[in-house]
């Protein structure tokens, strides 16, 4: 397990970030707190070190994960600890979509430092030979659009 965060703490994060989530089209019942716990309960193929504690403690990370999970649910995926392993390409697509929303709203809220920090990660995705070709264009667009912030 990558983190030990209570359901109550996740509910508090929903409340704390509700205005931001609403801006992104995320309603409180779109993603259940237990789904977030489940999603973070297993290691990832990319060995991501972001913990659930990190996510609930930071508005942009929380927004990102909520958008990612809603995206996956809308595509018909059940949120589980094995989702990232069983449907890695779909998770990557949701990750790119969530990054687009995260960057857009962070810039709208004038958090340029966060945008710059996150944009610096994108080239590593493009350098990954296993990164699906059809997501590269969206990543290149994000890089182009936000790298001058």
pLDDT of residue 34: 95
Residue 48 has a pLDDT of 78
CB contact set of 119 (below 8 Å; sequence gap of 6+): 103, 142, 143, 146, 147, 149
pLDDT at 93: 96
Residue 69's pLDDT is what? 98
Q: Which residues are CB-neighbours of 85 under 8 A, at least 6 positions away?
A: 42, 45
pLDDT score, position 43 = 78
CA–CA dist 116, 37 (Å, integer): 28
Alpha-carbon distance 81 to 42, whole Å?
5
| DSSP structure class, residue 140 | H
Q: Is the pTM of this model over 0.75?
A: yes
The predicted pLDDT at position 2 comes to 46
Total residues found in the chain within this entry: 149
Give how far Cα 53 sits from Cα of 2, 28, 57, 139, Å.
9, 19, 6, 27
Coil, strand, or helix at residue 88?
helix
Half-sphere exposure of 40 (CA within 13 A, CB side): 26
Residue 87, token pair as written in the block:
């449907």
pLDDT value at residue 56: 96
What pLDDT is recorded for position 5?
92
Q: What are the per-10-residue average pLDDT scores of the chain (149 residues)?
A: 79 96 95 95 80 95 98 97 93 97 98 97 91 93 95
Can you give the pLDDT at residue 28?
Answer: 86
**pLDDT of amino acid 3:** 52
SS3 34: helix
The predicted pLDDT at position 54 comes to 94
């Amino acid at each position: 397990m990558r983190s030990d965060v209570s359901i109550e703490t996740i509910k508090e994060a929903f409340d704390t970030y509700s205005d931001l989530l609403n801006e992104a089209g995320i309603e409180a019942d779109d993603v259940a707190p237990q789904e977030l716990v489940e999603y973070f309960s297993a290691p990832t193929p990319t060995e991501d070190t972001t913990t659930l504690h990190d996510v609930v403690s930071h508005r942009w990370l929380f927004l990102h994960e909520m958008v990612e999970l809603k995206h996956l649910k809308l595509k018909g995926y059940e949120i589980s600890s094995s989702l990232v392993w069983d449907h890695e390409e779909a998770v990557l697509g949701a990750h790119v979509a969530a990054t687009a929303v995260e960057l857009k709203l962070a810039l709208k809220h004038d958090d340029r430092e966060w945008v710059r920090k996150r944009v610096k990660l994108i080239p590593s995705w493009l350098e990954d030979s296993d990164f699906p070709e059809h997501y590269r264009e969206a990543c290149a667009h994000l890089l182009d659009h936000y790298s001058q912030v």
